[in-house]
Amino acid sequence: MIPLNWYLALSAIVFAIGLYGFISQKNGIRILMCVELMLNAANINLVAFSTYNDDMSGQVFALFSIALAAAEAAIGFAIMVSIYRMRDAINLDELNLLRW
């Protein structure tokens, strides 16, 4: 059996990659992908602790989190595609759709 520390280290690395990408990127689709990486890191933690404690509640919660992330990704990508069709760019620094 793999120790819990390895799962936590993997989760920390994946979360750090997602956080770095979220902070450094200006492209909307890349930012959404980095948010998905951070959610997957949280899911790794949920499943690891659930397995470590012999309790299924963490795995069930991770399943709901995966479904929520899929819905968030679908809506986010749909918004980004509609913004791209209107402005021909997804650079978030150049967008000012909500300004008058």
- Classified as helix, coil or strand, 41 is helix
pLDDT higher than threshold 80 for residue 94: no
pLDDT band at 28; cut points 50, 70, 90: confident
pTM of the predicted model as reported, rounded to 2 decimal places: 0.84
Is the C-alpha dihedral spanning 67, 70, 74, 76 positive or negative?
positive
Helix and strand numbers (H, E) in the chain are 3, 0
61 vs 27 pLDDT, higher one = 61
Helix pair angle (28-52, 4-24), 10° resolution: 170
**pLDDT band, very low/low/confident/very high, at 88 (cuts 50, 70, 90):** confident
Does residue 98 or residue 3 have the better pLDDT?
3
* pLDDT at 56 exceeding the cut of 90: yes
C-alpha distance from residue 47 to each of 63, 65, 66 (Å) = 9, 11, 12
Does position 98 have pLDDT exceeding 90, yes or no? Answer: no
The residue with tokens 């000012």 is 96
